[in-house]
Amino acid sequence: MSNAWRSSRATVCNFLLLFLSAGGAIPVHATDTLEEIKTRGTLLWGADAEGGAPYVYPDPQKPDQLVGFEHDLAEAIAARLGVKAQMVQNQWDQLVPALERRNFDIILNGLELTPDNQQHIAMSQPYFIYAQQIVTRKESEGLSQLEDLKGKAVGVLSGSVAKALLEKSGGADLRIYPGNVESLRDLKAKRIEAAVMDLPIAIYYAQPDAALKFSGVSFAPGYYGIGIRKEDKTLLVAVNQAIKELAEDQTLERIYRKYNVWDERQVSLKDYKAQAVAEKASISTIREWPKYLPLLLHGAIKTVEISVLSMAVAVIVGLIVVLVRLYGLPPLQWLAKAYVEVIRGTPLLIQLFLIYYGLPEIGIRLNAFCAAILGLGLNYAASEAENYRAGIQAIPHGQTEAALALGMSRWQSLHHVVLPQALRLVIPPVTNDFIAMFKDSSIVSVITMVELTKVYGMLATSTYDYIGLGLMTAGIYFALSYPASLFANWLERKLRYDRR
Amino acid sequence: MIAVESLIKSYNSNRVLHGIDHEQKPGEAVVLIGPSGCGKSTFLRCLNMLEVADSGRITIDGVTIEGGRFPATGREREQQRQLRIRAGMVFQSFNLFPHLTVLQNIIQAPTVVKGVPQEQAEALARQLLAKVGLENKAEAYPLQLSGGQQQRVAIARALAMEPRVMLFDEPTSALDPELRDEVLRVMRQLADEGMTMIVVTHEMQFARDMADRILFFDGGVVAESGPPEQIFGSPQHERTKEFVRRVASI
């Protein structure tokens, strides 16, 4: 599937945990997990409830309770094992590493039965047959199969089967989204022509929407299975047995009908035959750096573009804001102050969402690149305005008086006397912000920008080499920010006027 | 050259100047003395509108400003600018622009405010630097100079606007005693050349030597005015007597 929605910050956080765990922080469990579950009395199942309908999501009527067909399935399986089910929230694209870290017992969250997944963990018998569905706007014509999407802007979910399918068929202008809700929004905003997603998601989110339609029949069926650690053989047997029984007594059908995801395909669930999966050697990206480094560098170029342009916006807008705040007419002063306080007091993430997904509702449609620069730039402008304000207020009042006494206007004294001194004072904090911008810019991946951290995330989840890629990525970030810091030092030295 | 009529200035409810009248001929050097907080500096700052008087009228070299309102219209601002161009000011704390060299400090205002061409402004600046004895410091930065040198640059900077009147607000108070003379010497030279000037100072010897007239400020009014011989020799006013006695004993 995945209905998961990701924030790159949380991703980085998870990676950090992985680094730590690589140092041997995780004890090796010798006990049988099935025994452990029974002793504990709960089955811990990992899933991502954020944007997770209809799989697992907070009940719109009672938001403190979870619902969804996988939620009901987890309860049913737990009941067969004689225990209670408890969901453990985890980012979708990090479910497999989290299972290996023993954060929970099983993954039950639209995990596809693919050789890739079976490399690292064991997979149960399938419990659901999904397929891909093309969704378009109501008025669109002739986009009913994969071939029709060539040359069109198509939204897919990061790390999804749809993305892999479209990459294989080629020719489409792929836009990668952190969640399907976002891709459907952009579809309606006409930023993309079609979205391809797992059928249950399309049923829940796209079918009720009058502006959208299913285009053509669903295709490329596949299986969802439950992920279990390879060593937990008894648990695998027990889970397989539970699934088999739930299918036979039609509990599965009842659950799926309840959530409107039942179709005739599900009847053939029992025909599934497990296939042996060939072991693939694990990948060391550091050893194969000529293959991976260029991909990362490509992302790094985007990061530099975004950071530099955003900072340019921030430095200029910040100056305007501070001048209005300190010297403008009273109502404008108030407005400038409000701008700084509101921007500082709200998360950058939400500001980006409002610019990218909110503005189209009032007719302003920016592409992801412009939205990213505007969002980061306007956000940092508030911080630059404060830097400037501190700098300007540090200049003694006597400087202004001397300029005025010489006949300069208010603006001339500002322009020739106060600002040149204040700007020197603010070089260190502004540089600091610039370096922070390199790193903060990773957040724009939430509005489909593919920059350095995003490339890292995508490569890491497919190669599982978090450490090698992480070191390379960190190295690139450092190589970007250190020269900026050196340049600032040089500039500061060059502009000093208090040499004696 | 300078005419002030019933100048009144308050800070909030605290009245600092209680209606000052003052007439000054071209070339006259006037020194303001008086105890701290008597309104001397405020008077000076009203003259070039660093403070806006509550009421009264100020005329300098034919430019007249009415007190009572902050300049808001284009015409009022132009009047203010004309007044400031005519009245050069030297501050206690020098207030040189630290990011500019000595030469740049001096040519900044003439080029920006009056549109004087660069070379012409530079030629005048070098001339003025020679006058204050700092011709070899043109490329130095203010913070590389001693206090006395900085104040002399500040005088040159004010003179570069070719003012008709020079206002000195305690120009030597921030200086060590051994640095005061070099500044006082430049000021004396200016007075000798016929510059119209008003000096607020605590340097009584200097006041006695160079003033054409002394105004004794007390409690926001001019308590007594007259030539130095009168003020220091035979003060008429009780408060003047007391002040002179006190400063003489120091």
pLDDT given for residue A97 in this prediction: 82
Q: Given an 8 Å threshold on Cβ–Cβ distance, is A416 in contact with B112?
A: yes
| CB-based contact A417 B97, cutoff 8 Å | yes
pLDDT of residue A372: 94
Size of interface A-B (CB pairs under 8 A): 73
Closest approach of B63 to chain A, Cα-based (Å): 14
Nearest to B99 among A398, A409, A424 (CB): A424
Cα B121 to Cα A371: distance, rounded to the nearest angstrom: 49
Nearest CB neighbour to A497, from listed B85, B87, B98: B98
Beta bridge partners of A457: none
Comparing CA positions, the residue from A90, A8, A100 lying closest to residue A48 is: A90
Q: What is the CA radius of gyration of chain B?
A: 18
Of A133, A150, A147, A152, residue with least CA distance to A217? A133
Whether B141 has its CB under 8 Å from any CB of chain A: the answer is: yes
Please tell me the distance in Å from A308's CA to the nearest CA on chain B: 28
* 3-state SS assignment for residue B223: strand
From the list A64, A152, A70, the residue with the least C-alpha distance to A111 is A70
Let me know the angle formed at the C-alpha of A159 by A157 and A163, rounded to the nearest 5 degrees. Answer: 60
Residue (of A37, A42, A129) closest to A86 by Cα position = A42
The distance of B196 to chain A (nearest Cα, Å) reads 17
Question: What pLDDT was estimated at residue A282?
Answer: 59
Q: Is B164 touching A (CB cutoff 8 A)?
A: no
Give the mutation candidate from B97, B102, B106, B144 for the A interface (greatest A CB count, under 10 A).
B97
CB contact under 8 A, B98 and A412: no
Q: Answer yes or no: is the ipTM higher than 0.90.
A: yes
Taking only the tens of pLDDT, chain A with its 500 residues reads 443 333 344 444 444 444 444 444 444 455 789 999 999 999 999 998 887 889 998 888 888 889 999 999 999 999 999 999 999 988 887 888 889 888 899 999 999 888 878 888 999 999 999 999 999 999 999 898 888 999 999 999 887 889 888 988 888 999 988 888 889 989 998 999 999 999 999 988 898 899 999 999 999 888 999 999 999 999 999 999 999 999 989 999 999 999 999 988 888 887 777 666 555 555 677 777 888 888 899 999 999 999 999 999 999 999 999 999 999 899 999 999 999 999 999 999 999 989 988 888 888 888 889 999 999 999 999 999 999 999 999 999 999 999 999 999 999 999 999 999 998 899 999 999 999 998 889 898 888 788 899 889 888 877 778 888 999 999 999 999 999 889 888 988 888 776 54
Q: Mark which residues 61-90 of B lie under 8 Å from A by CB.
A: 77, 81, 84-85, 87-89
d(CA A85, CA A43): 5
End-to-end CA distance of chain A: 67
CA distance A293 to A290: 6
B113–A408: do the CB atoms touch at under 8 Å? yes
Q: Are A421 and B97 inside 8 Å of each other by CB? A: yes
Residue A27's pLDDT is what? 46
A500 reaches B (C-beta below 8 A)? yes
Hey, are the CB atoms on B114 and A407 less than 8 Å from each other? yes
What is the C-alpha to C-alpha distance for residues B35 and B41, in angstroms, rounded to an integer?
Answer: 11
* d(C-alpha A28, C-alpha B38), whole Å: 85
How distant is the Cα of B201 from the closest Cα of chain A, in angstroms? 19
Q: How confident is the model at residue B117, as a pLDDT?
A: 96
CA distance B133 to B123: 15
Is residue B95 within 8 angstroms of chain A, CB to CB? yes
| Nearest residue of B to residue A497, measured between CA atoms | B99
Residues of A in contact with B98 (CB under 8 A): 421, 497-498
From chain B, the residues in CB contact with A499 under 8 A are 141, 143-144
Whether A215 and A135 have beta carbons less than 8 Å apart is answered as yes
CA–CA distance, B87 with B92 (Å, rounded to integer): 16
Interface residue A479 vs chain B (CB under 8 A):
no
Closest Cβ opposite residue A421 in set B77, B98, B109: B98
CA distance B70 to chain A (A): 13
Q: Does B98 touch chain A (CB under 8 A)?
A: yes
- Of A178, A136, A170, A171, the C-alpha closest to A151 is A171
Of A218, A248, A235, A3, nearest to A109 by C-alpha is A3
Question: Among residues A282, A300, A240, A273, which one has the least CA distance to residue A455?
Answer: A300
Distance CA A270, CA A48 (A): 27
Q: What is the pLDDT of residues B123-180, one digit of tens each?
A: 999 999 999 999 999 999 999 999 999 999 999 999 999 999 999 999 999 999 889 9
pLDDT at A303: 94
- The segments of chain B whose pLDDT lies below 50 read none
Closest CA to B91 of A404, A419, A414: A404
CB contact under 8 Å between A406 and B93, yes or no, is: no
Give A452: exposed, middle or buried? Use CB within 10 Å, 0-12, 13-18, 19+.
buried
Asked if the Cβ–Cβ distance from B91 to A398 is below 8 Å, we say yes
Alpha-carbon distance of B211 to B190, in angstroms, equals: 12
Q: Token match 């891909």: residue?
A: A132
Q: Which amino acid is at B173?
A: S
Q: How far apart are CA A445 and CA A306, in angstroms?
A: 11
